[in-house]
Amino acid sequence: MTSRNSDQINHLVTGAVDTHMHTAPGAFPRHDTDFSAARKAQQHDMRAVVTKNHHFETASRAMNVRDEVGFDMRGGITLNEWVGGLNHHAVDGVSNFNADIVWMPTITAANHLENAAVQMFEAEEDEKSGLSVLGDDGHLTQETLDVLDRIAEHDMVIGLSHLSPEESIALVDEATDRGVEEFLVQHPHANFLNYTHDQMRTITDLGATLEFHYICMSEMMGNAATIDDYVDAVDVVGPENAVMATDGGATANPPAVEQFKNFIRDMLDAGVSEADIEMMIKDNPKRIFDLD
């Protein structure tokens, strides 16, 4: 990285938001706690980070960081089996901690258990069962609809997580009618999702934003994407319908801030303009999370 490029990247990182980061404790060994992650982001003059946990909520932890560090960390809850799955009571509960986002099931989603190359727990591999937002009739389940109503009531963002593209499209279509305004489609290039360009267009036309993760270019995620895949996807949906994030935190990969810088560098090298990158790491995340 040249000195000029380093200055350019640091300039872009200033005021940026990483909308997807994992901190310790978590399902995998992590580089940082909430507090050390916040301090590192603060040292780079980032605007905010959003932390996620596969098992429990991160909203209360983010509140502690905001109070004690003075950095704008945001959090939410992932509706995996450990919090009762698609449980509207969990959504109500986390609203007491100013949660910003509700992620749909991840590692206990039926789609993940059926299609992910890497499973996190032997029991999940053996059972091959999991959570779906769709019933046997192909329609959204009542418990899913109850969750959507609570998310709309509390004005939270929905993260589509590890739901299949078909599930996610159906959910976004219904949730917009129920008053949910913001959606993030996590790692659409992941090998257990593998959105087509047509599916990317469909879900963004419904109002969702694609969340591209640098981690998808790592061995940990099966090298599911290349930088050209991201450039092509941006061309398909437009930078106004995308964000760049890391999904960082696992010790198997570089620290999240380093990944964030690498993502910016690689997109610049691939010919993506500074203006488009700023839209994806600043303007769009600030809109989605209602950041000043």
What's the pLDDT tens digit per position in 243-264? 999 999 888 889 999 999 999 9
Please give the structure tokens belonging to residue 29: 């060994």
Q: Bridge partners of 76?
A: 101
| pLDDT average, residue stretch 138-149 | 98
Q: For residue 177, what pLDDT is reported?
A: 98
Q: Rounded to an integer, what distance in angstroms lies between the CA atom of residue 136 and that of residue 260?
A: 40
The fraction of the chain above a pLDDT of 70, given in percent, is 95
The fraction of the chain above a pLDDT of 90, given in percent, is 86
Interval 26-74: pLDDT, tens: 877 899 999 999 999 999 999 999 999 999 999 999 999 999 999 999 9
Quickly state the pLDDT bin for 25 (edges 50, 70, 90).
Answer: confident
Q: How high is the mean pLDDT of the chain?
A: 93
> Any idea which of 19-23, 59-63, 194-198, 249-253 has the lowest mean pLDDT?
249-253
Interval 172-187: pLDDT, tens: 999 999 999 999 999 9
| pLDDT average, residue stretch 133-161 | 98
| pLDDT average, residue stretch 15-22 | 98
CB of 13 closer than 8 Å to CB of 275: no
Q: Which of 258, 265, 276 is nearest to 41 (CA)?
A: 258
CB of 249 closer than 8 Å to CB of 27: no
How remote is the C-alpha of 52 from its chain's centroid?
8
**pLDDT above 50 (res 1):** no
Quickly state the pLDDT bin for 120 (edges 50, 70, 90).
Answer: low
Q: For residue 3, what pLDDT is reported?
A: 47
- Provide the 3-class DSSP secondary structure of residue 29: coil
- Provide the 3-class DSSP secondary structure of residue 196: coil
Give the single-character DSSP code of 130: -
- Provide the 3-class DSSP secondary structure of residue 157: strand
Q: Rounded to an integer, what distance in angstroms lies between the CA atom of residue 66 and that of residue 222?
A: 35
Q: Rounded to an integer, what distance in angstroms lies between the CA atom of residue 167 and that of residue 85?
A: 16
**pLDDT above 60 (res 4):** no
**pLDDT above 90 (res 118):** no
Quickly state the pLDDT bin for 116 (edges 50, 70, 90).
Answer: confident
Q: Bridge partners of 140?
A: 134
Quickly state the pLDDT bin for 128 (edges 50, 70, 90).
Answer: low
What are the backbone angles phi and psi of residue 131, rounded to the nearest 5°? -95, 140
Q: Which residue has the higher pLDDT, 246 or 4?
A: 246
> Which amino acid is located at 217 in the chain?
M
Give the single-character DSSP code of 204: H
Bond into 25 cis (ω within 30): yes
